[in-house]
Amino acid sequence: MSDVLTFAEAGAVADLRIFLGRASAIEEGSVRLIASGSVLAVYAAVLYPVGLSDETPTVLGLRTFALAEPAELDEVVPLLSLRHRVDALAEEGGVALRVPTAVGSVVWAGIAPPRRGWSEQAKVDPEPLRLHAEEGMKEVADAVPAESGAAIVRKVRAEVWGREMPEPPGLPAGAAFAAVALGFLGEDQPTVHTAGPWTRLSSARGHVLIYQRPWSLRG
């Protein structure tokens, strides 16, 4: 297992810094780092179920980065610790990142998207995604009273972001929220891919991964 990740260029560190900042605005929790050879995949949770009766879809954001030196790693680390290290690295113009100490596994990291076997289904217009995200964020804000407890907030978010969108069909509104909140929507047309129970919404800026089966101990 690698404890130092060396990026191919300083620009990748700057991109990772932005991604982590956006992810922490959604939830200040943990991220999963998976390095295999010359590629680092960074997963951040946007939505996920809590408990066996929770049918909230799992929605993850993913960015990949080129590494200058091959590495092997699969760890869940605290987002805040990683942000501090990436911030410092970006400010000094460095490319070698020392990985923070891993934390215990988190629920959403108990299931892993496949690396291969994806089949492209469609290209989609980014504008409906932006519209669904904006409408959903307003609905959540209107439905959650000030100083609401975590359970109420989670319930409202699950109801709003778990709904299937009419366009593009087959995706929960949480996929649109993730794409907008993580800055993945640009001028290009995102593509929808599937692999088993997973769906992936991909653009030139990043990927949103959706697992729509209720989570279980078996994954």
Full 3-state SS string of 63-128: EEEEEEEEEEEEEEEEHHHHHHHHHHHHHHCCCEEECCCCCCCCHHHHCCCCCCCCEEEEECCHHH
Residue 120 pairs with which residues in a beta bridge?
193
What value does the mean pLDDT of the chain take? 90
CATH topology of domain 1-121+186-219: DNA Polymerase III; Chain A, domain 2 (3.10.150)
Q: What is the pLDDT of residue 214?
A: 47
Q: Say how far apart CA 111 and CA 120 lie, in whole Å.
A: 22
- Residue 52: what pLDDT? 67
pTM: 0.91
Single-letter amino acid, residue 37? G
Q: Are 49 and 55 within 8 A, CB to CB? A: yes
- Is the confidence at residue 76, as pLDDT, over 70? yes
* Share of residues in the chain with pLDDT > 70 (%): 95
Does residue 24 have a pLDDT over 50? Answer: yes
Tokens 């932005």, located at residue: 18
Q: Averaged over 98-106, what is the pLDDT?
A: 89
Residue 120 has pLDDT above 80, yes or no: yes
Assess whether pLDDT exceeds 90 at residue 204.
yes
pLDDT band at 193 (very low <50, low <70, confident <90, very high): very high
Q: What mean pLDDT do residues 78-91 have?
A: 97
Chain segment 207-216, per-residue pLDDT in tens: 999 997 544 4
Task: Show me where the domains of the chain are located.
Answer: 1-121+186-219
Distances (CA, A) of 124 to 6, 53, 101, 131, 166: 35, 32, 39, 13, 12
Where is average pLDDT lowest: 24-28, 65-69, 137-141, 149-153?
149-153
Contact call for residues 47 and 158 (beta carbons, < 8 A)? yes
pLDDT greater than 80 at residue 53: no
The vertex-74 CA angle with 69 and 78, nearest 5°, equals 105
| Average pLDDT of the residues in 53-67 | 89
